[in-house]
C-alpha cells in the first residue's frame, strides 16, 4: 500500500468517525434510556447523560487533535500511524453506527472509546513526540 492511497483513506476514516460521533451527540437519549432500569430516577438519568456526553466530547477532542496533526503534516507521511488510524477510526465509525442504530447500553461505548479513540490518540501523541523530538532544523 503506497502513501498516496493511505492519506485519503486516513482522512476519510477520521472524518467518518467524527461525523458519527457528532450524530451520537445530538441523539443520545435512546442509548441513555437503554442503560437505565425501568424505574430510574432523574438523578440516574442525569448521571448517565453526563457520562455519555463526557465520553463523546473526549472522543471528539481526540479526533480533532488527530485531524490537526494530520492536516498540518506532522504525521501525514508516517505509514504505520496511517494504518493504525485507518483501522481504528474505520472500526470506530462502524461500531458507533451500530451503537446508534441498535441502541446499545452506554457501557459498550466505553469499550469502543478505549479501542477506537484512545489507542489511535495515544499512537498519534507518540508519533508527534517522536517527530518533534527528532526534527532537526536547517
User: For residue range 70-87, what is the model confidence (pLDDT) as tens digits?
Assistant: 999 899 889 999 999 999
H or E stretch at 58: helix 42-71
Cα 6 to Cα 26, 104, 123, 133, 137, distances in angstroms = 31, 32, 17, 24, 27
pLDDT digits (tens, 9 = 90+) for 79-125: 999 999 999 999 999 999 999 999 998 999 999 999 999 999 999 99
Burial class of 85 by CB neighbour count within 10 A (0 to 12, 13 to 18, 19+): buried
Q: Residue 108 has which C-alpha cell?
A: 459498550
Q: Does pTM surpass 0.85? A: yes
- Domain ranges for the chain, please list them: 3-134
Do 30 and 99 form a contact (C-beta atoms < 8 A)?
Answer: no
Amino acid at each position: 500500500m503506497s502513501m498516496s492511497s493511505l492519506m485519503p483513506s486516513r482522512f476519510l476514516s477520521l472524518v467518518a468517525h467524527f461525523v458519527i460521533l457528532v450524530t451520537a451527540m445530538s441523539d443520545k437519549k435512546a442509548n441513555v434510556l437503554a442503560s437505565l432500569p425501568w424505574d430510574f430516577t432523574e438523578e440516574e438519568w442525569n448521571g448517565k447523560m453526563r457520562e455519555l456526553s463526557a465520553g463523546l466530547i473526549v472522543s471528539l477532542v481526540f479526533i480533532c487533535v488527530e485531524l490537526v496533526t494530520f492536516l498540518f503534516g506532522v504525521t501525514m507521511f508516517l505509514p504505520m500511524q496511517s494504518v493504525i488510524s485507518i483501522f481504528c477510526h474505520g472500526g470506530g465509525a462502524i461500531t458507533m453506527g451500530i451503537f446508534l442504530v441498535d441502541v446499545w447500553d452506554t457501557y459498550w461505548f466505553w469499550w469502543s472509546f478505549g479501542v477506537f479513540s484512545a489507542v489511535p490518540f495515544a499512537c498519534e501523541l507518540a508519533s508527534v513526540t517522536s517527530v518533534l523530538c527528532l526534527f532537526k532544523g536547517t
